[in-house]
Homo-oligomer: A and B are copies of this chain.
Amino acid sequence: MGRKKVEMKRIENKSSRQVTFSKRRSGLIKKAREISVLCDLQVALLVFSPHGRLYDFSAGDSVTNILKRYRNQNDANDAESSNDGLTGVSPAALLQIIQSAGMLLKIQLIMYS
């Protein structure tokens, strides 16, 4: 879907890889949003970039808000509290939160590195 057909293999150039990650992450989020709307499914999508940044989208209950509540309640030593309150949540913690809030989410998409 671009000027050239791209080979399906790891992009060796680091900055090109980052650009592609960023573009395709957006596309994935959009697709998730669309399937959720068209097919009437709740979707939550969490994307951790290679650098630990968390992007999210959710239809229905906000995963972001769930995470924020969790962090506010359980994380006393919140040293690196960021603008969105999400950066630095470990995958393990995230899964635990989602599990405990499972009834809120009919469909989930979770992606992290």
**Residues of A in contact with B (beta carbons under 8 Å apart):** 6, 8-11, 17, 20-21, 24-25, 27-28, 31-32, 34-35, 37-43, 48, 50, 91-92, 95-96, 98-99, 102, 105-113
Given A92-B99, A106-B113, A107-B112: A38 and B25 interface contact (C-beta under 8 Å): no
Contact A108 B112 (CB under 8 A): yes
Chain B residues within 8 Å of A39, by CB: 10-11, 17, 20-21, 24, 50
Q: How many copies does the complex hold?
A: 2
Choose from B6, B91, B106, B109 the contact partner of A109 (Cβ within 8 Å): B109
Contact A31 B38 (CB under 8 A): no
Complex: A91 Cα to B98 Cα, angstroms: 10
